[in-house]
Structure 1
Amino acid sequence: MAKNLFISHSWTYSDTYDGLVKLLNAGGFDFKNYSVPKNDPIHNASNDRELYEAIKKQISPSSVVIILAGVYASYSKWINHEIDIAKNGFATVKPILAIEPFGSERTSKVVKDAADLIVKWNTNSIISGIEKLTK
C-alpha cells in the first residue's frame, strides 16, 4: 500500500528534493507525493496566510512529513511553518522524518529537534524510517 508523503524542501535547493524522489523511486518504494514542487501554482499565493493554508491542505493526507535537514532549513520560515502544521495543525500529529543530507557535516538543529526520527541520506535508511513512522 502506498505511503502518503509530504517532502518539505526549499525551492532554491530543488536538486536535493529531486534526488530524494529519485532515491525513493529507485528503491521501488510505493508512495504518493503530496509535496509542493516549484512549478506548482501554490507558490503564487497572494499572501502568507493563503500559502500557509495551501501547504496545510497538502500536508493533510500525508502520513509522514519528510524534511531535508540541510543547514539552509534553519533559515526557512516555511519549514518552520511546516513543522508547526505537522505538530499542531491536525487532530493527529504527523510524524516528521529528518534526512541528513549526503556528506553533510552541518545540519539544521531546528529540524533535528522537531524530528521524530533522523536518518542518513541513503535509500534503505529513508524507506525504513518511513515504514517505522507509519506502523
Structure 2
Amino acid sequence: MWEEESRVYKIYISHIEDFKEYNIFLDKLNAANEFEWINLAKPGDGNENLELQIKDVDVVIILSGQYSKNPSSVEKQIKIAQKFKKPLIVVRPYGMENVPTFIENLAQDIVGWNTPCIIEVIKENALEN
C-alpha cells in the first residue's frame, strides 16, 4: 500500500493547437488530493519530439474531443503510444458521451471528466515502474 501512495505517475496527455480541453484536464489532475504525477507532454514543442515525450510514460491520456479538431495529430500521438506499448486511457469529449469509434477501439479504458474516476483509471492502467 505504501508503494502506491508514494508513486509518482508519469503521464502523457494528448494535445493540439487548441489548449482549452488540455488545460481543463490539467486543472483537474492538479486539484486532485494525494495523487502525485508528472506531465511529460510538452505542448508547443512540435510533433518531432513526441516519441521522446511518450516513450517513458506510465500511461497515455487521449482527450478524444481533440480528434474532431485535428485528427491527424491525435492519430500520430496514438500511433506513437502503440509503438511503445503504452496503455491508452480515453477521456470523453468535454460535455459529451460519445467517443470517436477509432479511438474507442484502441482504449484500455474510457472515462469522463470526474476527477476521482480519472485518478482511479490512471492507477488501474498505469504500467509498473
With structure 2 as the length reference, what TM-score do the two structures score? 0.83
Q: 1:78 offset after TM fit, Å? A: 1.6
> What is the rounded CA distance, in whole Å, between the counterparts of 1:125 and 1:114 in structure 2?
19
Percentage of matched positions with identical amino acids: 31
Amino acid at match of 1:56: E
Structure 2 residue 22 is the aligned partner of structure 1 residue 17: yes
Identify unmatched segments of 5+ residues in structure 1: 44-50
For 1:3, which of 4, 9, 26 is the aligned residue?
Answer: 9
Q: 1:30 offset after TM fit, Å? A: 0.8
Structure 2 residue 40 is the aligned partner of structure 1 residue 34: yes
Question: SS in structure 2 opposite 1:79?
Answer: helix
> What is the rounded CA distance, in whole Å, between the counterparts of 2:71 and 2:24 in structure 1?
20
Which segments of structure 1 move beyond 2 Å, counting only runs of 4 or more? none
Amino acid at match of 1:21: L
Amino acid at match of 2:20: D
Q: 1:97 offset after TM fit, Å? A: 0.2
Structure 2 residue 103 is the aligned partner of structure 1 residue 120: no
For 1:131, which of 119, 123, 126 is the aligned residue?
Answer: 123
> What is the rounded CA distance, in whole Å, between the counterparts of 1:118 and 1:95 in structure 2?
11
Identify unmatched segments of 5+ residues in structure 2: 1-6
CA RMSD, aligned part only? 1.6
Q: Going by fraction, where is helix more abundant, 1 or 2?
A: 1
Moved more, 28-37 or 98-107: 98-107
Structure 2 residue 92 is the aligned partner of structure 1 residue 87: no
* Alignment correspondent of 1:47: none
